[in-house]
């Protein structure tokens, strides 16, 4: 958010004695162009507020939707943003400060530059500020009439310098000092405060000063019609030059858009995880489906989001601490989902083994098929549980970290038990088979002990 004038600057401008030595025909009793410009700014703000953008601090998405300047969009064909951004404001206070500042200088500008000159200075100063902002800070969303208003004050300064010989000496010098103080104060103020688009201020002020020198009506000159025509021609050339300038700026990478996309990917993965946690009363088929979604959709998406967040260049250095906090939170969510996958696999392996044992004992399942299932389904899943829980730490949840440790130990002991049972079936002697089965039972008891320590 950028404020054009501080309280001190507004007070200084209010107290300024602005000379009007032009003929009465030149005086603008009502600054019609300024009133129209202010009305347009207010109308846009009211439309934004009524549309739900927010009255005090509109969100970035709303600002962009209403025409704020943002290099990745502007340099990818939305060139109109260099104009529309000058009529979009970031909250009521932003609008009031800029419009008050504009009103204070409005009559003086229209008196000296004419209504066409006023509009030209306002628009081209805003455009120049937008162009410099695009180059200086391409990853910042910029909005507001700050550049235009700075251009107005700089244009008045340019006018007084061009016509200083025809104005009253002391009055001209006093006004020049006040204008220089106002411009300098706001530029320095912008450097000291975060969130102020000082590039737009500087670009607007520089272009406004130049136009104040070029577009000014010669004081006491009757040739106003010719000057107005020249001003309009200059304005047209200025817009053509601005379009060429924005077209020549290399397209900018949309880092904010990428960050939003990464965040959306992680959010979607987290919601999918919560939806497929599983629970009591589910059938084996339902548990298998939940585990498949966690393993094939949730975990890869989370890993991808974290990898992308780790390497994406940030728009601002101060965002680095935020990135570290975000990735730490996301890694905790990934570890949580990893444990969920391991717990589902564990549940599936136990249930599949129990079903196979019942079918073997009832004679429905041959020994060879039982061994195949034990190898390809049960033991393979138990190995995955071991792999997933090996060293798994859920930073935000010590209880889940302890569960992961117990689950890893339970899986390891049960796998060893199952493998010993298989070896016993292939033993050449009954004695060797009994020894292996005894070891298998010992490992199974250890597995059951670890499993009983899991927090359900």
Tens-place pLDDT, residues 279-288:
667 888 888 9
Residue 347 burial (CB count, 10 A): 19
Mean pLDDT along residues 338-354:
92
Instruction: Tell me what pLDDT residue 99 has.
Output: 92
Is 260 found in the same domain as 306? Answer: yes
The answer to whether residue 161 sits within a structural domain is: yes
Statement: residue 178 has pLDDT above 70:
yes
- Cα 124–127–130 angle (5° rounding)? 155
447 is a domain residue: yes
Count the Cβ atoms, other than its own, within 10 Å of residue 84: 17
Q: Tell whether the model's pLDDT for residue 167 goes beyond 70.
A: no
Does residue 117 contact residue 35 with C-beta atoms inside 8 Å? no
- Residue 1 belongs to a domain: no
Average pLDDT over residues 265-282: 86
121: nearest Cα among 240, 3, 232: 232
Show which of 248, 277, 292 is a domain's final residue. Answer: 248
Q: Are residues 239 and 270 located together in one domain of the fold?
A: no
Q: Are 128 and 34 in contact (CB under 8 A)?
A: no
Q: What is the pLDDT of residue 45?
A: 94
Same domain, 72 and 198: yes
pTM above 0.85, yes or no: no
The mean pLDDT of 340-349, rounded to a whole number, is: 92
Residue 191: pLDDT band with limits 50, 70, 90: low
Banded model confidence at residue 195, pLDDT cuts 50, 70, 90: low
Residue 164 burial (CB < 10 Å; 0-12/13-18/19+)? middle
Same domain, 319 and 193: no
Residue 257 CA to its chain's centroid (Å): 6
Q: Which two tokens stand for residue 415?
A: 């796998």
**Domain end point (choices 248, 264, 290):** 248
pLDDT of residue 6: 42
The count of C-alpha atoms lying within 13 angstroms of the C-alpha of 105, restricted to the half-sphere facing its C-beta, is 33
Residue 413 has pLDDT above 90, yes or no: yes
Of 344 and 280, the one with more pLDDT: 344
Is residue 47 located within the same domain as residue 173? yes
- Tell whether 65 is covered by a domain: yes
Which whole number is the average pLDDT over 177-195? Answer: 70
The answer to whether 87 and 44 are in contact (CB under 8 A) is yes
pLDDT score at 24: 39
Write out the DSSP string of 428-444.
Answer: SSHHHHHHHHHHHHHHH
Q: What is the pLDDT of residues 288-339, one digit of tens each?
A: 999 999 999 999 999 999 999 988 887 666 677 888 888 988 998 999 999 9
What pLDDT shows up at residue 411? 93
CATH number at residue 202: 1.20.1540.10
Domain range for 83: 7-248
Same domain, 281 and 194: no
Cα 147–152–157 angle (5° rounding)? Answer: 125
pLDDT band at 7 (very low <50, low <70, confident <90, very high): very low
Give the list of residues 6+ apart from residue 254 with CB closer than 8 angstroms, or none. 72, 73
- Residue at 270 is within a domain: yes
- What digits encode the pLDDT tens for the residues 77-118? 888 898 999 999 998 999 998 899 899 888 888 877 778 888
Which residues, at least 6 apart from 392, have a Cβ–Cβ distance to it below 8 Å? 335, 338, 339, 342, 401, 404, 405, 408
Mean pLDDT, the chain, rounded, equals: 81
Mark whether 175 and 276 lie in a shared domain: no
pLDDT band at 257 (very low <50, low <70, confident <90, very high): confident
Q: Do the beta carbons of residue 19 and residue 167 sit within 8 Å? A: yes
Task: List residues bridging with 73 in a β-sheet.
Answer: none
Are residues 283 and 390 both part of a single domain?
Answer: yes
Number of structural domains, the chain?
A: 2
Residues 6+ apart with CB under 8 A from 230: 215
Residue 170 has pLDDT above 60, yes or no: no
Where among 204, 231, 248 does a domain terminate? 248
Rounded percentage of the chain residues whose pLDDT exceeds 90: 29
Q: In what helix (H) or strand (E) does residue 199 lie, and over which residues does it extend?
A: helix 198-215
User: In which band, very low, low, confident or very high, does the pLDDT at 20 lie, cut at 50, 70 and 90?
Assistant: very low
Note whether 259 and 316 are same-domain residues.
yes
Measured CA to CA in angstroms, residue 13 lies from 16, 19, 41 at distances of 5, 13, 21
pLDDT at residue 439, as a whole number: 93
Mean pLDDT of 340-359: 91
> Does residue 193 share a domain with residue 95?
yes
User: Do 403 and 295 reside in the same domain of the chain?
Assistant: yes
Q: How far is the C-alpha of 193 from the C-alpha of 221, rounded, in Å?
A: 44
Question: Which of 165-174, 316-325, 394-403, 422-431 is least confident?
Answer: 165-174
Per-residue pLDDT of 204-248, as tens digits, reads 888 888 888 777 665 445 555 666 666 676 667 766 776 677 677
End-to-end Cα spacing for the chain: 50
Judge if 284 and 369 occupy the same domain: yes
Cβ(301)–Cβ(269) below 8 Å: yes
pLDDT at position 11 is: 40
């Amino acid at each position: 958010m950028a404020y054009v004038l501080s309280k001190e600057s507004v007070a200084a401008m209010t107290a300024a004695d602005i000379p009007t030595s032009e003929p009465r025909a030149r005086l603008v009793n009502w600054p019609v162009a300024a009133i129209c410009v202010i009305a347009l700014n207010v109308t846009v703000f009211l439309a934004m507020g009524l549309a739900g953008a927010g009255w005090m601090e509109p969100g970035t998405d709303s600002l962009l939707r209403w025409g704020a300047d943002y290099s990745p969009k502007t340099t990818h064909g939305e060139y109109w943003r260099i104009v529309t951004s000058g009529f979009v404001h970031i909250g009521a206070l932003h609008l009031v400060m800029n419009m008050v500042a504009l009103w204070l200088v409005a009559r003086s500008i229209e008196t000296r530059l004419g209504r066409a000159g006023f509009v030209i200075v306002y628009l081209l100063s805003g455009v120049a500020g937008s162009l410099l902002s695009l180059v200086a800070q391409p990853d910042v969303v910029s909005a507001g009439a700050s550049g235009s208003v700075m251009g107005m004050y700089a244009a008045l300064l340019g006018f007084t310098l061009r016509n200083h010989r025809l104005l009253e000496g002391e009055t001209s010098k006093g006004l020049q000092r006040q204008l220089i103080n106002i411009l300098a104060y706001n530029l320095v103020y912008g450097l000291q405060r975060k969130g102020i688009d000082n590039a737009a201020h500087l670009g607007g002020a520089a272009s406004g000063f130049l136009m104040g020198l070029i577009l000014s009506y010669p004081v006491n000159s009757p040739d106003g019609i010719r000057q107005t025509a020249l001003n309009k021609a200059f304005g047209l050339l200025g817009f053509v030059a601005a379009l060429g300038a924005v077209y020549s700026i290399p397209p900018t990478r949309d880092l904010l858009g990428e960050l939003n996309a990464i965040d959306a990917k992680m959010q979607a993965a987290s919601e999918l995880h919560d939806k497929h946690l599983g629970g009591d009363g589910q059938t084996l088929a339902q548990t298998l489906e939940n585990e498949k979604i966690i393993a094939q959709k949730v975990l890869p998406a989370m890993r991808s989001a974290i990898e992308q967040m780790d390497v994406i260049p940030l728009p601002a250095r101060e965002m680095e601490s935020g990135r570290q906090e975000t990735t730490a939170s996301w890694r905790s969510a990934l570890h949580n989902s990893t444990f969920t996958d391991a717990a589902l696999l564990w549940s599936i392996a136990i249930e599949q083994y129990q079903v196979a044992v019942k079918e073997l004992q009832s004679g429905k399942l041959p020994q060879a098929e039982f061994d195949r299932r034990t190898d390809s389904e049960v033991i393979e899943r138990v190995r995955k549980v071991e792999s997933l829980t090996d060293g798994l730490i859920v930073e935000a949840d010590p209880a889940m970290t302890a569960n992961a440790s117990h689950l890893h130990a339970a899986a390891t002991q049960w796998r060893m038990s199952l493998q010993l049972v298989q070896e016993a079936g292939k033993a050449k002697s009954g004695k060797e088979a009994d020894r292996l089965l005894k070891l298998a039972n010992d490992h199974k008891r250890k597995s059951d002990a670890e499993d009983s320590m899991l927090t359900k």
